[in-house]
């Protein structure tokens, strides 16, 4: 199986950035507890109030199952609530060069 990578670019209003960052640890904890195949996530701040969330999954199937669950736990819901708009959402496969 190949590692699936979720790339989600979104906007957060400047007055919500602190709340978004404060909610991140609980979101990660909920993913670790509830999402099969969750391998980790990195959050990147971009210009113009945009952010990129890079999430690694053990498989494309694990990513799809996670999407079906949505914001089913409080930590996930709190993080998602800080997002003002979705810019793009894509899935790719991690290319590991040896």
Domains of the chain are 4-90 (3.30.70.100)
Tell me: pLDDT of 71 over 70: yes
pLDDT in tens, 14-63: 999 999 999 999 999 999 999 999 999 999 999 999 999 999 999 999 99
Helices (H) and strands (E) in the chain, counts: 3, 4
* Residue 2: per-residue pLDDT: 84
Are 49 and 12 in contact by the 8 Å Cβ rule? The answer is yes
**What is the value of pTM for the model shown?**
0.92
């Amino acid at each position: 199986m190949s590692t699936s990578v979720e790339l989600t670019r979104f906007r957060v209003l400047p007055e919500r950035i602190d709340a978004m960052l404060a909610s991140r640890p609980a979101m990660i904890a909920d993913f670790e507890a509830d999402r099969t195949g969750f391998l980790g996530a990195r959050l990147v701040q971009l210009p113009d109030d945009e952010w990129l969330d890079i999430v690694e999954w053990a498989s494309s199937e694990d990513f799809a199952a996670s999407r079906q669950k949505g914001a089913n736990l409080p930590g996930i819901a709190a993080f998602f609530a800080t997002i003002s708009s979705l810019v793009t959402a894509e899935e790719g496969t991690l290319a590991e060069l040896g």
